Structure 1
């Protein structure tokens, strides 16, 4: 059974955040709320997390995982950005956007797109996620919690626990979050292409 952890939506309790970071360091997979919708997350060097996410969501090897980063400095370790991309992405974060960019050597090959060598990155604007990333000291390998037989992501912790009780290690509840995933902007060709319209305003990249 998954551990159910309730945290304050605006002022997450440090002890709970520290416990979740410790669970992640033990190769756990968690379901957690963001500024867009629920997501699945694990450490970048997790031995099992990516495959578990693929099984839960029925994903193939071409799926773009997202590295959820604490700040722009951390994001810059994992993707290449030219000056135009740097200014545009920095101006749009933290917010519910995911950017697809060429991956650096810091990204394990199995998490980058097999042909494009790209990866998704984002900096969320959510108090719990910011606290967890600060405590963990590294990004989360993540994917939107959109189940194969659902039209929309789940929005509350108890629903997530009921659905995923035996396939994740912990579920975080910080109150209801949105149903819209992030807006995805593909910069891999050197210019912005909005490939999914979601919670972030796409007009700045159109």
Structure 2
């Protein structure tokens, strides 16, 4: 249970719908539903029931809402007691690919620390797929990753930038660019990667699969480094 879930519960009742709460909080409807479902599971209670096309609070939901409003009101009062200018505080969990951290995010994180020195930042490293699971399990607040191609509910993806995908091979190989664009073509080339679950590798495999292009053997070489 957390303040966000309670705040969303209050917003749904006040605005009259999940979509109204989502709009107010700048969330997707799926994300609102995800947090409410988690709250119901944690309390082992049904908070809403569907009557026609409307969602109404159950008796248990009314009791939880009453206590939630007390908690939210008390939190607001305590926050207003802070002296001086408001400062960002708390913890921020970020999951990121190691390559992106090294080449893209170091300066971003340093700048954020200067803007919000009272925020504790925890960075978790992983592949595109493990990072996605961290967010789904609520182990981190946000993730910066390579595009995986699909992000099901309750995840919301925001494109930040685009990067070129580079392939490197021996100068002895004779590789024509068209080999990777001709439909149903099968160049006799082996593909080496540091991790089969990495975002760039999965992206390239999807690129080939859409064109019916097959390669030689796939090899993972991270164990040699």
Pairwise TM-score range, normalised by the shorter structure: under 0.3
Q: TM-score, normalised by structure 2?
A: 0.20
Structure whose residues are more often helix by fraction: 2
**RCO comparison, higher one (Cα < 8 Å, 6+):** 1
Q: TM-score, normalised by structure 1?
A: 0.22
